[in-house]
Amino acid sequence: MDRRSFLKNSALGGTAAAATGLAAPAFAQGNRTLTMVTSVPDGFAIFDDAAVKFIDLVNSMSGGELTIEKKAAGQLVGAFEVFDAVSSGQADMYHSADYYFGGSQHPGYYFFTAVPFGATGGEMISWYQHGGGKELHDELGQIFGLKSFIAGNTGHQPGGWFNKEINSAADLQGLKFRMPGLGGKALGLTGASVQNVPGGEIYQALASGAIDGAEWIGPFADERLGLQEVCDYYYTGGMHEPGSALTAAMNREVWETLTPSQQAIIETAAMATHHWSLSQSNANNGAALERLKAQGTKVLQFPDDVWDAFGKAASEALDENMDDELFARIRASQEASVASTYSWTSISDGEFQAQRARYNAANG
Ligand code: CA
């Protein structure tokens, strides 16, 4: 029952409401609990924080009409099983990173988290809201019975943690490295041995020597995992996830049972969560990196020839999927939007930030 109906029925009085025979069932339909499965353990910084924020926003904006019960990775289904669980109706919603499903479901999903050499967080939301991204996400969702919205963004993700310095592209040969998505495919094309390990298992995989290195999210989230305890070298510039979006996806049949105002709440909560999450990353990563350095982490950047190898591999990894018509259309849409956005931000924000840094360095 929405609040307006409640007030109207209250004004009529209990007897009148009971006489219509509508009040009780309408109220019963008004409060729903939806089950959300996720791909990380409870309490994982940035990733789980975004799921919790989304849930809190939906609950508060709906005045309690919609309650979302979160089941972390492994509680109902495994980290990478959430897509099938929601598509099949086993769970109502998932909160995850859609690139986990690029290989198993449809390669178009890579673009709704991140592709190598792709969109920054700001470029992602510009494409999604104003460049056709949201409509393409929905087109993919129709294939699998999902209604999807991006709901979180990690910001730029570092190249990751290594147990040795990477001084040239040759140093990537044979390296056992954790990197998911199309970025992982690209890294594999440079000669590395790429594995996809769920977030909750990265620390152990590094500690046991099962992998030589790993990327996760960024200083704030990586510090929480303790990756500084098992690797010495941290490369902060990364090619694989320039601004990874997270997604809240609902079973489409469940979505269609929601009222228009409840649907608007879900979409608005997702949009707000993307904004909140991107700013959470950007606000916390600088201080977290300083703490990592204080613990002995060596912070480095890849040399140009490594970036050149990444760029070539990224193009090849993308090109491998171009026989899929929808993939090709999503790629063209995102690349055109990013190029257009950057044509402005590079000569406005980019110039300003460079000049501000130059002036402040010279003048204190
Ligand atoms: Ca990552």
Q: Could you tell me if residue 163 is inside a domain?
A: no
3-state secondary structure at position 67: strand
Beta carbons of 335 and 200 less than 8 angstroms apart: no
Q: Could you tell me if residue 62 is inside a domain?
A: yes
* Mean pLDDT (the chain, rounded): 92
Q: Could you tell me if residue 234 is inside a domain?
A: no
Which pLDDT score is estimated for 78?
Answer: 96
**DSSP-derived secondary structure letter, 338:** H
Q: Could you tell me if residue 23 is inside a domain?
A: yes
Q: pLDDT tens-digit profile of 25-73?
A: 333 456 999 999 999 999 999 999 999 999 999 999 999 999 999 999 9
- Please count the other Cβ atoms lying within 10 Å of the Cβ belonging to residue 26: 16
Which pLDDT score is estimated for 196?
Answer: 87
Cα 44 to middle of ligand 1, angstroms: 13
Q: Which pairing describes strands 93-96 and 32-38: parallel, antiparallel, or unpaired? A: parallel
Instruction: Annotate 193-210 with b (16+ C-beta within 10 A) or e (fewer).
Output: ebbebbbbebbebbeeee
Q: Could you tell me if residue 175 is inside a domain?
A: no
Q: Is the model's pLDDT at 190 over the cut of 50?
A: yes
Q: Could you tell me if residue 33 is inside a domain?
A: yes
Cα 15 to middle of ligand 1, angstroms: 59
Cα 249 to middle of ligand 1, angstroms: 20
pLDDT band at 210 (very low <50, low <70, confident <90, very high): very high
Cα 140 to middle of ligand 1, angstroms: 22
Q: Is the model's pLDDT at 144 over the cut of 70?
A: yes
H/E/C letters for each residue in 139-185?
HHHHHHCEEEEEEEECCCCCCEEECCCCCCHHHHCCCEEECCHHHHH
Beta carbons of 154 and 246 less than 8 angstroms apart: yes
Enumerate the β-bridge partners of residue 298. 233
pLDDT exceeding 90 applies to what percent of the chain? 90
Q: Is the model's pLDDT at 5 over the cut of 80?
A: no
Whole-number Å distance between alpha carbons of 328 and 115: 13
18-27, 108-117, 236-245, 323-332: segment of lowest average pLDDT:
18-27
Which pLDDT score is estimated for 10?
Answer: 38
Q: Could you tell me if residue 97 is inside a domain?
A: yes
- The mean per-residue pLDDT over the stretch 325-343 comes to 98
Cα 244 to middle of ligand 1, angstroms: 8
Which pLDDT score is estimated for 343?
Answer: 98
Q: Is the model's pLDDT at 231 over the cut of 60?
A: yes
Q: What is the dihedral of CA 199, 288, 98, 322, to 10 degrees?
A: -110
The letter for the amino acid at 78 is: G
- The mean per-residue pLDDT over the stretch 171-176 comes to 96
Q: Which two tokens stand for residue 293?
A: 């350095």
Whole-number Å distance between alpha carbons of 9 and 56: 28
CATH number at residue 103: 3.40.190.170
24-38, 80-94, 106-120, 131-145: segment of lowest average pLDDT:
24-38
Cα 35 to middle of ligand 1, angstroms: 25
Comparing 5 with 341, the larger pLDDT belongs to 341
191: region left, alpha or beta (phi > 0 left; psi from -120 to 50 alpha): left
Whole-number Å distance between alpha carbons of 59 and 57: 5
Q: pLDDT tens-digit profile of 255-272?
A: 999 999 999 999 999 999
Cα 179 to middle of ligand 1, angstroms: 7
What are the two backbone dihedrals, phi and then psi, of residue 34, each rounded to the nearest 5 degrees? -110, 140
List, in order, residues 6 or more apart from 70 with CB less than 8 Å away: 36, 38, 42, 51, 52, 55, 95
Q: pLDDT tens-digit profile of 258-308?
A: 999 999 999 999 999 999 999 999 999 999 999 999 999 999 999 999 999
Which pLDDT score is estimated for 9?
Answer: 38
Domain containing 73: what range? 2-153+243-282
Cα 14 to middle of ligand 1, angstroms: 55
**Which alpha helices (H) appear in 226-259, and where do they start and end?**
252-257
Q: pTM for the full model?
A: 0.89
Domain count, the chain: 1
Q: Could you tell me if residue 212 is inside a domain?
A: no
Q: Is the model's pLDDT at 2 over the cut of 70?
A: no
Which pLDDT score is estimated for 24?
Answer: 40
